[in-house]
Amino acid sequence: MYIFQILALYWAVTIKLAMEHMLKPKKIRILPVECREPAGSLQSQLLASALEALRYEKSTLILEKASTDRADFILPVGPFRAHELKGHNDSGAIPALCEAPAKHTANIAHTLAPGESLHGYFKQDQTLLALCHLPQTKPNTTLELRKILAPSRPEHQKTASMLRDSFNLAGPWHATAISSEKLCLYSYPSPTRSPLFDALGMNWYALAAFEAAGKSVSIMQQPIWGTAAFDESDDAQLHIKANQIYLDLDDTLIVHGALNPHVADLLARCVRANLPVHLITRHARDPHKTLQEFNIEAGKFASIIWVTDGSPKSNHMTASDRTMFIDDSFKERQEVSATLNILSMPPSASRLLYIR
């Protein structure tokens, strides 16, 4: 009798500890490259992209720079080299996500023109989660977004499989063609393209961190229209024509008790263009009161939708093929995209988004 009680207690405690371990957020230390680049530079954009993608997730905890807590993972953001990580990584005891840049040269069979690139993410089980083809871009190039995110050709899939088998890939990677026969493979996110893919809902840093934290990761397949315009500095701006926008409040327009300047600027531009913006939120109290506290005029919104019954946000939206939804929650974006078949984007898209 007592033996069964002891065994039952033992298993109850074991399961409880296991659940607490699973639910306990993974501590991540983000390492930005120490440099003197100005605000708004590529390095600043990459760091902002990683921070914005991770800071809202309960499964991850970003350690402050001065924190002495031991991290579960280290996330280098930028062109670190392996020897530069050693001083940060407890003599290798703490694993680094998105490993330091590793450059390889590989032979290919005429699948890319010189300057073109492939970008992808291999899950830890070696499943190819996403594969994007980016044609060569030059200053003032404009590309259709559908072409960037179009299903990859069979020969691209073949190249990706060859790279995986040759270099045992896991996590984000990109490869650029040197010639029609050779390409350079890099086993870390593309610095120049990370802001663009992040805006389109594919944050390579976040995927690596979430998978390391034990979460199931995926990427939405959704309709997308418009163009990506590349300027003289090769920075991309998304030009998308929309007839209305549904916008989230918490962790989108207002983040950690402050107005998100990029989303606020997008809202102001939409108001000037007479583009209807609907605020849709599960806010803990009447959103009108919060808007008033932040000096945001309720009249800027075509409607304010306060969802209090736990129902899907898609139930409260009237969508057309030119409707856009902006929300920090991947779960919300996934539900709305799947139900209404509309473009659903993260708040970070507002950095690059030009509504026309």
Per-residue pLDDT reduced to its tens digit, 238-294: 898 899 999 999 989 998 788 988 899 999 999 999 999 999 999 999 999 999 999
pLDDT at residue 101 in the model: 59
Query: How many structural domains are present in the chain?
Result: 3
pLDDT at residue 71 in the model: 81
Q: Are 109 and 84 in the same domain?
A: no
Is residue 86's pLDDT more than 60? no
Q: Are 135 and 196 in the same domain?
A: yes
Tell me how far apart the alpha carbons of residues 203 and 210 are, in angstroms, rounded to a whole number. Answer: 11
Is residue 56's pLDDT more than 90? no
pLDDT at residue 209 in the model: 82
Is residue 44's pLDDT more than 80? no
pLDDT bracket for residue 4 (50, 70, 90): low
Structure tokens at 355: 């509504």
Tell me how far apart the alpha carbons of residues 295 and 312 are, in angstroms, rounded to a whole number. Answer: 28
Tell me how far apart the alpha carbons of residues 176 and 182 are, in angstroms, rounded to a whole number. Answer: 9
Whether 217 is covered by a domain: the verdict is no
Q: Are 134 and 36 in the same domain?
A: no
pTM of the model: 0.78
Domain that holds residue 123: 103-212
Average pLDDT value for residue range 83-109: 66
**228 and 148 Cβ atoms separated by less than 8 Å:** yes
CATH number at residue 127: 3.30.470
**278 and 247 Cβ atoms separated by less than 8 Å:** yes
Between 13-17, 50-54, 272-276, the lowest mean confidence (pLDDT) is in: 13-17
Whether 143 is covered by a domain: the verdict is yes
Listed ranges 37-51, 108-122, 301-315; the one with the highest mean pLDDT = 301-315
